[in-house]
Amino acid sequence: MGYLEGFAVTFKKLGEKRVTTEYPEEKRPKPDRLHGRHVLNRYEDGMEKCIGCELCAGVCPANCIYVRGKDNPDGDPVSPGERYGFIYEINYLRCIHCDMCVEACPTEAITESKLFEFSFTNRADAIYTKKELLVDDDGLPQHLPWEDWRPGEDQMTSAWMRATAPSGDASYEGKVAWSGELGYGVRDAEVGQSDDHVVARSPEETDH
């Protein structure tokens, strides 16, 4: 291709409609099942969902989660269980956002939001503590200075877990499988699944 043909292509493209977005002022919509920055959730009454069982840390393939449980204080429990997450840290220099911690959690304490853009200025900022991960008194994620939150990025977090866990099975379509969550109430039931390839289940299994 000669110079003239090259300029012709350039000027032709100048007149066409742009397909790119003006990032970061404008961003493309993010899917519901996007895996981003984690949050530690609370029940509707404000109690923490984390019971310090350390299952999330045990299942993490990147070894980026550190959890230590502690017995609940007498008369002023932090969680409904016997124990709560006393220490909770996630190292985002290691995290691969696989969401396995979300699937392993028995109380739905940890979920992943749609936020995935971080701008750390030092390594210490990349290690999130429980204070930074735990939602505030309104049930909303903490907004840290180096995070670029946009409206809706805390909605429908970790929907992927409901599509792969037993409660995301097609036979559960239309049934609410989430516990109440501070700031959001009860999540909508799982929808949009097909039961064309569902394996036959015994009556004992369908009763649970």
Residue boundaries of the structural domains of the chain: 33-184
Give the DSSP letter of residue 76.
S
Q: For residue range 170-187, list pLDDT tens digits in order.
A: 777 777 777 889 988 887
51 - beta bridge partners? none
Residue 115 to residue 21: CA distance in whole angstroms? 18
- Low-confidence stretches of the chain (pLDDT beneath 50): 200, 206, 208
- The answer for residues whose C-beta is within 8 angstroms of residue 136's C-beta and 6 or more apart is 142
pLDDT at position 188 is 76
pLDDT at position 195 is 59
Residue 175 to residue 15: CA distance in whole angstroms? 51
Give the DSSP letter of residue 179.
P
pLDDT at position 21 is 78
Q: What CATH architecture applies to the domain 33-184? A: 2-Layer Sandwich (3.30)
Residue 153 to residue 150: CA distance in whole angstroms? 6
Q: Of 174, 162, 173, which is closest to residue 198 (Cα–Cα)?
A: 173
- Residue linked to tokens 């949009």: 192
Residue 165 to residue 103: CA distance in whole angstroms? 7
Q: How many residues does the chain have?
A: 208
pLDDT at position 139 is 92
- Residue 42 phi/psi, 5° resolution? -120, 155
